[in-house]
């Protein structure tokens, strides 16, 4: 399940509340003294989990000698109230006590991000990910920092990974498309050729980032509608992303221009086969092997077709 990029409440806090003494829930009328750290912590955690955020500040705000967990609670409360500067101060105060605390580093990263301090946010996100590479809110946070900093080539693989993990992730999809546009627009303005962009697209496809590759090929066709490599890329990947008609048209046009284009012929055969059009796929494979008898893709497609049971006639 996708995790929001909002500042997260660590599971340890929920566990702590579950194990707090019952009387902690009643400590609201008269907050304990600041030197009664555990009592204040117990009460603050109860109110935090209940969503009674104003009470958290009442218990922890007046105190300056808090433990890391209490600074985490206080910073989280400030973040939820959009008091990001105060939140960052709270997380930093906690880090002064526990400089390696991942939750506090994570909190400071998001507070810095929301304050527009991209450099600090990136540093903190990378610190957390160096020790916990699968922490999803930090992965998303780092991608967001790179995106708003126009470092599209760096954030693209992250958005590609997020979209591979969850094809329905609309935020990652939107930012991936925007990143491709931002990156290739900068390349185009710098005088880099469409051929270089298409080569990048095939490299991304080979690395498993097929959605990035598809968007690269589509973008190139906006500036060079007849680029053969971009049309082949669109034809090869289009059906996978809901553009079968465009993919088929691109491949058929390539084959009209060059009937012995082995890659286009193999891609068209594959498109028909994946769509369940066995007869059309068989015809394309026959043409491919007639012009290129040793073609590896053609031979593989022929074996795949021969292995599939044919429909019996009624």
Q: What is the pLDDT along the chain (314 residues), one digit of tens a residue?
A: 444 444 444 444 443 433 343 334 334 445 545 545 555 555 555 555 565 545 555 554 545 456 778 778 888 888 888 889 999 998 898 899 899 999 999 999 999 999 999 999 999 999 999 999 999 999 999 999 999 999 999 999 999 999 999 999 999 999 999 999 999 999 999 999 999 999 999 999 999 999 999 999 999 999 999 999 999 999 999 999 999 999 999 999 999 999 999 999 999 999 999 999 999 999 999 999 999 999 999 999 999 999 977 764 44
What is the value of pTM for the model shown? 0.76
Tell me if 72 is assigned to some domain: yes
CA distances from 235 to 10, 171, 197, 230 (A): 46, 26, 16, 8
**What's residue 28's pLDDT?**
43
Torsion of CA 146, 149, 153, 159, to 10 degrees: 40
What sign has the CA pseudo-torsion 6, 12, 18, 20?
Answer: negative
Tell me if 290 is assigned to some domain: no
**What's residue 38's pLDDT?**
53
Tell me if 86 is assigned to some domain: yes
Overall number of domains in the chain: 1
Distance CA(91)–CA(89), nearest Å, equals 6
**What's residue 39's pLDDT?**
54
The phi, psi pair for 269, rounded to 5°, reads -60, -40
**What's residue 262's pLDDT?**
97
Tell me if 26 is assigned to some domain: yes
b/e sequence 38-65, b meaning 16+ C-beta within 10 Å: ebbbbbbbbbbeeeebebbbebbbebee
Query: Where in the sequence is the domain holding 89, given as residue range(s)?
Result: 1-107
Tell me if 74 is assigned to some domain: yes
Tell me if 69 is assigned to some domain: yes
Query: pLDDT digits over 34-66, tens only?
Result: 545 555 555 555 555 565 545 555 554 545 456
Sequential DSSP letters for 59-78: HHTT-SS--HHHHHHHHHHH
Tell me if 247 is assigned to some domain: no
Tell me if 224 is assigned to some domain: no
Q: Which residues contact 27 (CB under 8 A, 6 or more apart)?
A: 39, 42, 43, 59
Distance CA(277)–CA(216), nearest Å, equals 28
**What's residue 223's pLDDT?**
97
CATH number at residue 10: 1.25.40
Collapsed DSSP state (helix, strand, coil) of residue 81 = coil
């Amino acid at each position: 399940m996708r995790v929001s990029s909002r500042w997260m409440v660590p599971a340890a806090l929920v566990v702590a509340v579950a194990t707090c003494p019952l009387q902690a829930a009643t400590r609201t009328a008269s907050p304990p003294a600041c030197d009664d750290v555990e009592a204040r912590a117990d009460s603050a955690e109860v109110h935090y989990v209940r969503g009674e955020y104003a009470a958290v500040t009442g218990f922890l705000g007046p105190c300056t000698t808090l433990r890391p967990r209490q600074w985490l609670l206080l910073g989280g409360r400030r973040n939820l109230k959009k008091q990001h500067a105060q939140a960052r101060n709270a997380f930093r105060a906690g880090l002064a006590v526990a400089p390696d605390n991942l939750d506090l580093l994570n909190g400071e990263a998001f507070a810095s991000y929301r304050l527009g301090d991209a450099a600090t946010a990136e540093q903190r996100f990378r610190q957390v990910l160096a020790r916990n590479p699968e922490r999803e809110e930090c992965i998303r946070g780092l991608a967001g920092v790179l995106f708003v900093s126009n470092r599209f080539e760096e954030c693209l693989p992250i958005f590609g990974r997020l979209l591979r993990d969850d094809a329905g992730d609309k935020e990652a999809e939107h930012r991936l498309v925007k990143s491709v546009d931002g990156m290739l627009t900068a390349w185009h303005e710098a005088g880099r050729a469409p051929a270089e962009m298409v080569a990048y697209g095939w490299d991304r496809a080979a690395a498993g980032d097929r959605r990035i590759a598809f968007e690269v090929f589509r973008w190139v066709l906006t500036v060079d509608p007849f680029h053969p490599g971009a049309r082949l890329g669109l034809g090869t990947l289009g059906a996978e992303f809901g553009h079968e008609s465009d993919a088929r048209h691109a491949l058929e046009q390539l084959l009209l221009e060059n009937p012995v284009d082995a890659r286009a012929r193999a891609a068209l055969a594959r498109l028909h086969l994946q769509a369940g059009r066995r007869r059309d796929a068989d015809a394309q494979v026959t043409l491919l092997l007639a012009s290129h008898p040793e073609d590896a893709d053609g031979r593989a497609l022929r074996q795949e077709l021969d292995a599939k049971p044919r429909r019996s006639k009624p």
